[in-house]
Amino acid sequence: MGAYVLRRVLIMLLLLLLLSFAVFVLFSLLPADVARLTCGKICTDQTIELNRIRLGLDKSVFEQYWLFLSAIFVGRTYGVGEGAVVCEAPCLGWSFTKSEPVLELILDRLPTTIFLALGAFVLFLIGGVLLGIYSALRRGGWQDKAITGVALVGYSLPSFFFGLVVIYFVIIRWQILPFPRYEHPWDDPVQFVQTMILPWLVLAILYAAFYTRLTRSQMLETLGDDYIRTARAKGLPERTVIGKHALRAGLTPIVTAAGLDLAGLLGGAIILEAIFSLPGLGSLAISSVTNPDQSILVGVTLITATFVIIANLVVDILYAYIDPRVRAS
């Protein structure tokens, strides 16, 4: 097991390296001329060229990538003399539009995104799995039909539409909640909850629909398996048969989906963050597209991708924990 984890971590690091290169090259192919965009108020051809040299954009893509990569470990100084900008290690690039290290910008936005993702994750996972089990047990009954029907609607709703409808009714029409204004929970817990409750619920409903359907079909499949009959033949109470034997067997795909969904959410729920004006990674990504800042885009993309890769690793390790047959091979 230890060797397995070690091997997977090494593969993960290799994958991250390849990924960072791909992302870096991809964004350097963008038509935007960063040197022109960030040269300052008075741009002459000369200042643009100087800026280009300062940013290292005169070098080849490979050299630039090497500078980017080494900056993560040893930091980097842009330019020389008085106008020099020092980006200390770990340096994930420097935002010249915001005059801040990219990593700092990301870390600043990350808590919001983490709170949003984790809150919704807990809600949709518990809600979705419980509804799915209930639905499977009432298979064919009106409860099952109602849940499956609602889940289908929830699954098909686009988040921008659903989010806006919720804002319109809950905040504007019925005025149950104030307009969202994000505060960190350690600054103003009440304001935090008031702002987050709607995006949590909207995300939870959108995702729970999928988990309800997945859990239901998984349960229906495992409930017909032979070892479930054995569990009943042993005289186990039905709640043990379902909550332990059937659920454990049907868990694998749920864990996979949940891991990847959590990683995706940690990369920023772009649409919902925009709708509810939450200062998370998603809105950071949007603002660096509308007000072009390539270094932020590279940073956010890399962080998001890292989450996905780590989630994959965690899911695979969980697999081995859940299913002993995986451990053997």
Partner 1 sequence: MTGAFLEVRDLHVDFPTDDGTVHAVAGASFSVSPGSTMAIVGESGSGKSVTAQAIMGLLNPRAAQVSGHVFLNGTDLLECEPDDVRRMRGSVMSMIFQDPLSSLHPFYRIGDQLVEAVRVHQNVSKSQARDMAIDGLRRVGIPAPERRVDDYPHQLSGGMRQRVMIAMALINGPDLLIADEPTTALDVTVQAQIIDLMMELQEQTGTTMVVITHDLGVVAEMAKDVCVMYGGRIVEHGSTDDIYYRTSMPYTQGLLSSVPRLDEVRSERLDPIPGNPPSLIRLPSGCVFHPRCRERSRVEDDLCRTLEPELLEVSPGHTARCHLVDGTGGAP
Shortest distance in whole angstroms from residue 179 CB to partner 1: 49
- Tell me the two tokens of residue 181: 């204004």
15 class by beta-carbon count within 10 Å (0-12 exposed, 13-18 middle, 19+ buried)? middle
Please say which residue, 36 or 234, places its beta carbon nearer to partner 1: 234
269 half-sphere exposure, CB direction, 13 A CA radius: 31
Smallest gap from residue 235 Cβ to partner 1 (A): 3
Nearer to partner 1, 30 or 146 (CB): 146
| CB neighbours of residue 16 within 10 Å | 15
Tell me the C-alpha distance between 62 and 38, whole Å.
22
Q: Helices then strands (H, E): number in the chain?
A: 15, 4
Backbone region of residue 172 per phi and psi (left: phi > 0; alpha: psi in -120 to 50; beta: other values): alpha
CB of 252 to partner 1, least distance (A): 9
Stretch 237-296 residues interacting with partner 1 (CB under 8 A): 237-238, 240, 245, 248-249
Query: C-beta of 285: minimal distance to partner 1 in Å?
Result: 40
State which of residues 28, 164, 225, 264 lies at the interface with partner 1 (CB under 8 A).
225
> Total binding residues for partner 1 by CB under 8 A?
22
Query: Cβ 159 to partner 1, closest distance in Å?
Result: 35
Q: Do 87 and 231 meet the contact criterion of CB atoms below 8 Å apart?
A: no
Q: Which of 29, 142, 233, 290 binds partner 1 (CB under 8 A)?
A: 233
Which of 114, 236, 310, 320 touches partner 1 by CB under 8 A? 236
The site map against partner 1 for 164-203 (x = CB under 8 A) is ----------------------------------------
Pick the piece of the chain touching partner 1 (CB under 8 A) from 107-115, 158-166, 224-232, 290-298: 224-232
d(CA 134, CA 211): 12
Choices 17-25, 73-81, 233-241, 301-309; region in contact with partner 1 by CB under 8 A: 233-241
Could you tell me the smallest distance in angstroms from the CB atom of residue 225 to partner 1? 7
- Taking the complex as a whole, the smallest distance from the CB of residue 144 to partner 1 amounts, in Å, to 12
- Of 137 and 177, nearer to partner 1 (C-beta) is 137
In order, the DSSP letters of 25-39 are: HHHHTSS--HHHHTS
Q: Whole-number minimum distance, CB 328 to partner 1, in Å? A: 7
Based on CB atoms, which residue is closest to partner 1, 52 or 245? 245
Using the minimum distance from each CB to partner 1, give the nearer residue, 250 or 267.
Answer: 250
Give the pair of three-digit tokens for residue 131.
Answer: 């509804």
Phi, psi of 100 (to 5 degrees): -145, 155
In Å, how far are 29, 77, 226 from 81, measured between CA atoms?
30, 10, 75
How many angstroms separate the CA atoms of 275 and 167, rounded?
Answer: 9
**148-159 burial by CB neighbour count: b if 16+ within 10 A, else e?**
beebeebbebeb
CB of 261 to partner 1, least distance (A): 23
Report DSSP state, residue 56. Answer: T
Please report whether residue 328 would count as binding partner 1 according to CB under 8 A.
Answer: yes
State how far the alpha carbon of 120 is from the alpha carbons of 29, 115, 186, 239, in Å: 36, 8, 19, 27
**2 to 41, contacts with partner 1 by CB under 8 A?**
none
Residues forming the site for partner 1 (CB under 8 A): 225-227, 229-238, 240, 245, 248-249, 322-325, 328
